[in-house]
Amino acid sequence: MTTSAPAPGPSGGPDRELLRRYHEHGDVSAREQLVERHLPLVRSLARRYAGRGEALEDIEQVGTIGLIKAIDRYELTRDVALTTYATPNVVGEIKRHFRDRGWTIRIPRALQELNVKMSGAVERLTVRLARSPTIAELAVELDATPEQVLEAVEAGSAYSPVSLSASPGTEDDLDLMEVIGSEDEGFARTDDRTSLEPALGELPERERRILRMRFEEGLTQTQIADRVGLSQMHVSRLIRRSLENMREALSG
Amino acid sequence: MTAPPSPDVELVELETPIGSEWEPVFRLVLGGVADRLGLGFEELDDLQLAVERLLAEAGAQRSVKLAFELAPDHVRTHVGPLSEAPIAKALQGSPPGPGELGLRRVLETVVDSFGVEESDGGELVVRLEKRVGPR
């Protein structure tokens, strides 16, 4: 496998200059350029962990956090290329993510495998039937019983969500919200405890967009899935995770 | 907590502790209800989300009763009694303004209708209704 990530020499090159601008002058745009330049490396490393029940783009997002930490921790006195320094950071972040998100309870392999097949079955049947399939229809498609289908769906939810407000690693790790959060003007803000909008701006852009489509534009999960290029089940998980993380952020 | 169902309505009741570790219990029960009615996979997910969000706001309350009324064309879910005042405020106050994302907006989106019944003691039972789509 090859990557198109830049590989500057340890002592010079564009990376070195960008790192100097960021660390010595606080130039945030230099940091953004560094992230941009090394995203192919993150994508390449993330692909190694695909097919383990986690969407590739989520793994890439986690890997990007590792890249940002590497950039922030890089010491200019080091005579090592950023690519070399960042790789173990990115891999470590992804591994930590899988460890933290691992199956929280012991799930029989057959149910895990049925869960993995579920998303594709839902998509196929939704297209074929032009509506959301019933549990019975899914059972026939998957050659399983309705009870097994329901258990497999629940097996998927045993995959514990990572809190956006929880540092995934050591105490000095960046808070995910600090990395990806920004102001959102799409939803109004109130102090009502059951209102979630004060925390909305802390979500990644993709999640904010999905929430807007679901709760402002009234699109179904399937329609949203078509627009953002994800499965309906993935959209469902993102909506749940976003609402729960927003609530945790408000109560925390 | 619910009016006697008519003869063509079947009733499933459950009392469960509140907490994320207990969510699979009501989700599985609701899944069985959906299978019985032929509710779509996405419609089931919507209804599960509605109950999850309500229980997430239930505060320190330790347990809750859930009642599912199954009619041929819809399922009506009763959640309660709930004692948290913010839930009443969120569901009984003025409609959400454009762009507000609160509990009420979530319920308005994911179920076909909802309502709040208040007891003399000020406790609430929230009613969620989801229709079975055309098959």
Is the interface score ipTM higher than 0.85?
yes
CATH architecture of A103-159: Orthogonal Bundle (1.10)
3-state secondary structure of B14: strand
> Structure tokens of A181?
């959060």
| pLDDT 10s digits, A70-125 | 998 888 887 788 988 898 889 888 887 776 665 545 567 788 788 878 888 999 99
| Fold category of A13-101 in CATH | Rna Polymerase Sigma Factor; Chain: A (1.10.1740)
Q: What is the pLDDT of residue B20?
A: 80
Cβ separation of A131 and B134 shorter than 8 Å?
yes
Say if residue A161's pLDDT is above 90.
no
User: What average pLDDT does the segment A146-174 reach?
Assistant: 58
Domain ranges of chain A: 13-101, 103-159, 167-252
3-state secondary structure A165-203: CCCCCCCCCCCHHHHHCCCCCCCCCCCCCCECHHHHHHC
Task: Give me the architecture of the B11-131 domain, per CATH.
Answer: 2-Layer Sandwich (3.30)
Dist. CA A136–CA A126, nearest whole Å: 14
pLDDT at A173 (0 to 100)? 32
Partner-chain contact A240 B99, CB within 8 Å: no
pLDDT given at position B4: 57
**Is the separation of the CB atoms in A90 and A67 below 8 Å?**
yes
Mean pLDDT of chain B: 86
> Which range, A93-97, A164-168, B43-47, is most confident?
B43-47
Other Cβ atoms less than 10 A from the Cβ of B6: the count is: 8
Least confident range from A84-88, A89-93, B20-24, B88-92: namely: B88-92
Q: Which fold has domain A167-252?
A: Butyryl-CoA Dehydrogenase, subunit A; domain 3 (1.20.140)
Contacts of residue B44 in chain A, CB cutoff 8 Å?
Answer: 135
The alpha-carbon gap from B11 to the nearest alpha carbon of chain A, in Å, equals 20
Average pLDDT, chain A: 76
**Chain B residues near residue A218 by CB distance under 8 angstroms:** 109
pTM of structure = 0.65
Per-residue pLDDT band for B99 (boundaries 50, 70, 90) equals: low
Q: How much is the average pLDDT of A164-188? A: 35
Task: Write down the pLDDT at residue A10.
Answer: 47
**Cβ atoms of residues B100 and A187 within 8 Å:** yes
Exposed e or buried b for every residue in A46-85, given b needs 16+ CB within 10 A?
Answer: beebeeeebeeebbbbbbbbbbbbbbeebeeeeeebbbeb
Whether A131 sits inside 8 A of B86 (CB atoms) is no
On the question of a cis peptide bond just before residue B72, with omega within 30 degrees of 0, the verdict is no
Report chain A residues whose CB lies below 8 A from the CB of B102. Answer: 190, 192, 194-197
pLDDT at res. B113? 93
Chain B residues with beta carbon closer than 8 angstroms to that of A146 = 32, 35
What's the confidence (pLDDT) of residue A77? 83
Extract the tokens encoding A15. Answer: 């990376």
Q: Which of B33, B108, B43 is nearest to B71 (CA)?
A: B33
